Chain A
Amino acid sequence: QSALTQPRSVSGSPGQSVTVSCTGTSSDVGGYNYVSWYQHHPGKAPKVMIYDVDQRPSGVPDRFSGSKSGNTASLTISGLQAEDEADYYCCSYAGYFTLLFGGGTKVTVL
């Protein structure tokens, strides 16, 4: 059960787009369309931003989008805003009710 691979950090200026990648294997990311993304501000509970690869929960701004190609999933934040600065974690179903998280990516708004 190795963690999914995410870049440690990405950054962008307000209004720009940033993409966070999440690489796994055919046993997790590549094997199921159950990748989700979580925004985590220190001291607060994580919040789901994308689920089932590209589904956006009610209330999540449409500047957040998800996709997947092979064993790599991606979260794109378009029109970056100051409040988007946070840690982002990907998570994939890995079979038999188990979940696998990525190591987390710190998104910085310059």
Chain B
Amino acid sequence: QLLESGGGFVQPGGSLRLSCAASGFTFSNHVMNWVRQAPGKGLEWVSAISGSGRDTFYADSVKGRFTISRDNSKSTLYLQMDTLRAEDTALYYCARNGGGLGVWGQGTMVTVSS
């Protein structure tokens, strides 16, 4: 099971940190991802992190502004979002690799607006 938190309303240029608490599986064994869906739009892959946390990967649209990390001792995934833009407004999901993206959370909403 995955449970996201940390979403909210923020002004352009602001920051927000999302969390995703995992349970029911060995967290450190899995690559983890963030995927988002803007209102009325499709799914967009945002970022991924290896099981150890050593390797991180980003979509071009967020590179240099977002930072993915994980704490395997707490079975928790994070997404630090800085210099937020209106186009970052979306429902953010965390998802676990394994049989495709085999496990998804319910999402946390991020709204960037002045």
Interface, chain A (partner B; CB < 8 A)? 1, 3, 36-38, 40, 44-48, 50-52, 55, 57, 87, 89, 91, 96-104
Contacts and interface: CB of A to CB of B under 8 A. Distances in A.
Contacts of A3: 42, 44
Interface of B: 31, 33, 35, 42-45, 48, 50, 55, 57, 59-61, 93, 95, 99-102, 104-107
B57 A57 contact: no
Contacts of B57: 96-98
Given A45-B106, A48-B102, A89 B59 contact: no
11 contacts: A46-B104, A48-B100, A48-B101, A51-B100, A52-B99, A89-B43, A96-B57, A98-B57, A98-B59, A100-B45, A102-B42
Contacts, number: 70
B99 A97 contact: no
Given A91-B45, A97-B31, A101-B42, A45 B100 contact: no
B48 to A, nearest CB: 5
B5 to A, nearest CB: 15
